[in-house]
Amino acid sequence: MMWWYGPGMNGWGYGLMTISMVLFWALIIFGMVALIRYLGRAGQVAAARPTPQQLLDERFARGEIDEDEYRRRLDLMAVVTGPRAKP
C-alpha cells in the first residue's frame, strides 16, 4: 500500500494541526488562570471609603483644624449636601 500517494495531509496540514493544538491548550490554560484569578478576587471585601464627614472628624480629632474651621466646614457641607445631624 502506498499511503503517501493520493489525497492526504501534507506539510501544511501538519503545520496547521500543530498550531491549532498549541492555540487550543493556550486557551484552556488561559481560561483556567482567569477563572482562578476571578474566584480569588470574589472573596475580597472592598474597603469602605470614609465619608467627607468622617474625614473632617478625623482631622479635627488630630488637631489639624480648630473648632471654628470644623464648624464652618460642617455648615458648608450641610448647604451642599443637605441637612446633617448635630454633633
Per-residue model confidence (pLDDT) at position 50: 86
Residue 33 in domain = no
Residue 8 in domain = no
Residue 58 in domain = yes
Question: Domain range for residue 73?
Answer: 52-81
Residue 44 in domain = no
28, three cell numbers: 484552556
Residue 59 in domain = yes
Residue 2 in domain = no
34, three cell numbers: 482567569
Per-residue model confidence (pLDDT) at position 87: 52
9, three cell numbers: 495531509
Q: In this predicted model, what pLDDT tens digit does every residue of 20-54 receive, in sequence order? A: 999 999 999 999 999 999 888 876 666 678 888 99
Domains in the chain, number: 1
Residue 39 in domain = no
Poorest-confidence range of 9-23, 48-62, 70-84? 70-84
Q: Give the whole-angstrom CA distance, residue 76 versus residue 78.
A: 5
pTM here? 0.43
